[in-house]
Amino acid sequence: MGYTRLPILDETGYVIVDSYDQSVDPREWLDVEYVDWKSSGDTRFAPLASAYGDMECNGFWNHTPPKTDKDGVWVSKNVADAPILTRRAQEPGANVGRCRIIELQPNTYADAIYNLHRDDNNRLNPEGTGWIVRAFFNLTDDPDSVMILREDKDDPATETRIPLPAGAQVILDTQRLYHAVWHPGDEPRYCLITSYESGPELDSWINARRPIPRILSAPLDPEFAQSAYAEARARRDARAAALAAKGADPSFGDGTLRAGAIDEYESSAEVLSEA
Ligand SMILES: [Fe+2]
């Protein structure tokens, strides 16, 4: 039966729409409450919508009862402190799942390559309904930072780097594309991330904002890039070895992987790097 999808994402899996004028809005992302989701010193999250309205950011499927990444419940305290961001998240009129503000500390290109991951946000999503995609609304002005996207995690030729000035608005199929943000600089980056159900509402919202489904990335110095790839590969190998030592097969290849190890493996990538 399949899912309802957005045709504009067919080609590349991403689409950039008109920027939002962030300059006149208050910095609501500094007023909300952040939670330490799992353990990472690199990111914090402030939920605007969570599975059942609590001040937490866990995957909706990790609750009782589990649910797919739709029908998020607004977190009253943070919604009260961030009314404009809440309104922006609701503006497309599509079903909203997880909605949160991410705070990302500065990192390197190698960090971002190491952190490339795909989301699992269609887990439990019933066929015949809309495929869940994510919107990234950049809040701080980070023109030198980029959202790194790859169709193939290990093939730099498939990489796109989308600049993230204030107000940048990008919709991604995060279950299709590997993604992570490279954020140089010395201040944290803040971004509003919202899960939406694909359908006519989101399609109309995108099409009313001059969508661009493909951009050319600014080139990287080849030597710099190669050294980052080598560093990322070494760190991935070390992580795989550490997991193997615990009895997990990070290749997921032989059926011996413990369920807990899968969660650990996935969360180690996603927590560190949620774009
Ligand atoms: Fe992600």
Q: Could you give the domains of the chain?
A: 7-207 (2.60.120.330)
Helix, coil or strand: residue 224: helix
268, pLDDT greater than 50: no
Residue 114, token pair as written in the block: 């190491």
Please report which confidence band the pLDDT of residue 246 belongs to, taking 50, 70 and 90 as the band edges: confident
270, pLDDT greater than 80: no
Distance 13 CA to ligand 1 centre (A): 14
Residue 241: partners with Cβ closer than 8 Å, 6 or more residues away: none
Is the pTM above the cut of 0.75? yes
| Beta bridge partners of residue 4, listed in sequence order | 130
CA distances from 222 to 72, 156, 228 (A): 43, 11, 10
The number of C-alpha atoms within 13 Å of 104 and in the hemisphere containing its C-beta is 34
Distance 109 CA to ligand 1 centre (A): 16
- The pLDDT of residue 37 is 64
User: Could you identify the residue written with the tokens 């190890």?
Assistant: 261
Distance 244 CA to ligand 1 centre (A): 24
Distance 179 CA to ligand 1 centre (A): 6
Separation between Cα atoms, residue 166 and residue 140, nearest integer Å: 5
Distance 272 CA to ligand 1 centre (A): 10
Query: Which tens digits make up the pLDDT trace of 89-113?
Result: 999 999 999 999 999 999 999 999 9
> pLDDT higher for 67 or 248?
67
Distance 258 CA to ligand 1 centre (A): 23
253, pLDDT greater than 50: no
- The pLDDT of residue 152 is 97
CB 121 within 8 A of CB 134: yes
Separation between Cα atoms, residue 183 and residue 208, nearest integer Å: 29
Separation between Cα atoms, residue 36 and residue 56, nearest integer Å: 9
Q: Supply the mean pLDDT for the chain.
A: 90
- The pLDDT of residue 249 is 55
The number of C-alpha atoms within 13 Å of 120 and in the hemisphere containing its C-beta is 16
Outline where DSSP puts E strands in the chain: 14-17, 43-50, 73-74, 96-104, 132-138, 142-150, 159-164, 169-172, 178-182, 189-197
Query: Which tens digits make up the pLDDT trace of 199-224?
Result: 999 999 999 999 999 999 999 999 99
- The pLDDT of residue 250 is 52
| Beta bridge partners of residue 171, listed in sequence order | 15, 135
189, pLDDT greater than 60: yes
- The pLDDT of residue 173 is 98
